[in-house]
Structure 1
Amino acid sequence: MKKVLVYLSVSIILLGLCSSCTNTNGNQEENKVESIDYENAYNQYSESFTELNDIEKMDIDENLTKAVLYYTDSEGYLVPVMRQVPKQEGIAKSVINALINNSENRIDLRETGLKPHLPEGMEFELALKEENLMRISFDDKILTFSNEEEEKTAVQAIVYTLTEFETVDKVQILVDNKIVNTLAKGTEVGEPLTRGNINSLNNLPQGEYVKITLYSYNNTTNNYTYYIPITKNIVKDQKEIQSIVEEQINLNKEMGKPIPEGLELVSIIVEDSTAFMTIKNQIETKDENFERFMKAICLALGQNEEINSVKLVIEDQDVNNMEILTFSVPIFANVYE
Structure 2
Amino acid sequence: MKKLIKLLLLVGIIALSYITIKEPQLTAKVQQTVSSYIKKETKTEQADITVYFKNAEGYVVPITRKVNKEQATFDNVLNLMADNEENGKVASKNGLLPAVVSGSIKSVQVDGTTAKVSLNEKSAQFVDKSDETAFVTSIVYALTEYKDVDSVMFDLSSSDTLPFGTEMNKLYYRENINKIKYSKLAKSKQTMYLAKKCDNVYNYIPYSVYNRKSNISLKEALNIHFNLCSDTKFSSLIFADNAKLKEILIKGDSVYIHLSKEFEKMDKAMLNMYKNSVSLTVKENSDSIEKVRFIIDQNEENNGIMETVLIKDYSNQERK
TM-score by length of 2: 0.76
- Partners of 1:285 and 1:121 lie apart in 2 by 46
1:233 alignment partner, one of 210, 226, 230? 210
Supply the distance in 1 between the matched residues of 2:227 and 2:301 (Cα, whole angstroms): 31
Residue 253 (structure 2) pairs with residue 273 (structure 1): yes
Structure 1: stretches of 5+ with no match in the other structure: 1-60
Give the partner amino acid of 1:302: K
- Pair 1:109-2:91 in alignment: yes
Please state how far the C-alpha of 1:266 moved relative to its aligned partner.
2.3
User: Structure 1, residues 76-117: CA drift from partner, whole Å, max 9, x if none?
Assistant: 101112222333388223111122111111112332101111
SS in 2 for 1:295: helix
Which one has more relative contact order, counting CA pairs under 8 Å at least 6 apart?
1
Report the counterpart of residue 145 of structure 1 in structure 2.
Answer: 126
Does residue 292 of structure 1 match 2:270? no
Q: Aligned partners of 1:296 and 1:320: how far apart in 2?
A: 22
Structure of larger gyration radius:
2
Q: CA deviation at 1:219?
A: 3.2
**1:173/1:243 CA distance change after superposition, 3 Å:** same
SS at match of 1:327: strand
Cα distance in 2 between the residues matched to 1:125 and 1:320:
56
1:144-173 Cα deviation digits (max 9, x unpaired)? 112222112201111111111111111121
* Structure 1 counterpart SS, 2:67: strand
CA contact (8 A) 2:49 2:72 kept: no
Distance 1:179 1:221, change over 3 A: closer
Q: 1:150 to 1:220 in 2, by over 3 A?
A: closer
* 3-state SS of 1:85 partner: strand
Aligned with 1:258: secondary structure? coil
Report deviation, 1:205. 8.4
Segments of 5+ residues of structure 2 without an aligned counterpart are 1-42
After superposition, give the CA deviation of every residue in 1:27-86 in whole Å (9 maximum; x if it has no partner): xxxxxxxxxxxxxxxxxxxxxxxxxxxxxxxxxx77222221111011110111222233
Structure 2: how far apart are the matches of 1:237 and 1:190? Answer: 30
Of 123, 135, 142, which aligns to 2:116?
135
Deviation digits for residues 209-229 of structure 1 (CA, Å, limit 9, x no counterpart)? 43212222223454x421111
Could you say which residue in structure 1 is the equivalent of 2:190? 212
From the two aligned structures, give the one with the greater strand fraction. 2
Q: In structure 2, what residue type is equivalent to 1:294?
A: K
The CA deviation string for residues 238-273 of structure 1, in whole angstroms up to 9 with x for no partner, is: 872221221111101222531233322221111221
Give the equivalent residue in structure 1 for 2:68.
86
Q: Return the match for 1:100 from 82, 91, 107.
A: 82
Deviations 1:292-327 (A, max 9, x none): 1111111112221211211111234x9899511111
What TM-score results when the alignment is normalised by the length of structure 1? 0.72
CA 1:302–1:293: 2 relative to 1, 3 Å: same
Q: Match for residue 46 of structure 1?
A: none
**Judging changes above 3 Å, is the alpha-carbon distance between structure 1 residues 260 and 244 closer, same or farther for their aligned structure 2 residues?**
farther
Change (3 A) 1:121 1:179: closer
Per mean C-alpha deviation after superposition, the further-off stretch among 235-244 and 261-270 is: 235-244
* Higher helix content, 1 or 2: 2
Task: Judge which range, 193-202 or 157-166, deviates more.
Answer: 193-202
* Cα 1:216/1:163, change in 2 over 3 Å: same
Q: What amino acid is the match of 1:272? A: G
Alpha-carbon RMSD across the aligned residues, in angstroms, is: 2.7
Letter in 2 for 1:102: N
Tell me, in whole angstroms, the C-alpha distance in 2 between the residues paired with 1:265 and 1:89.
44
Aligned residues: 271
The alignment status of 1:243 with 2:223, answered yes or no, reads no
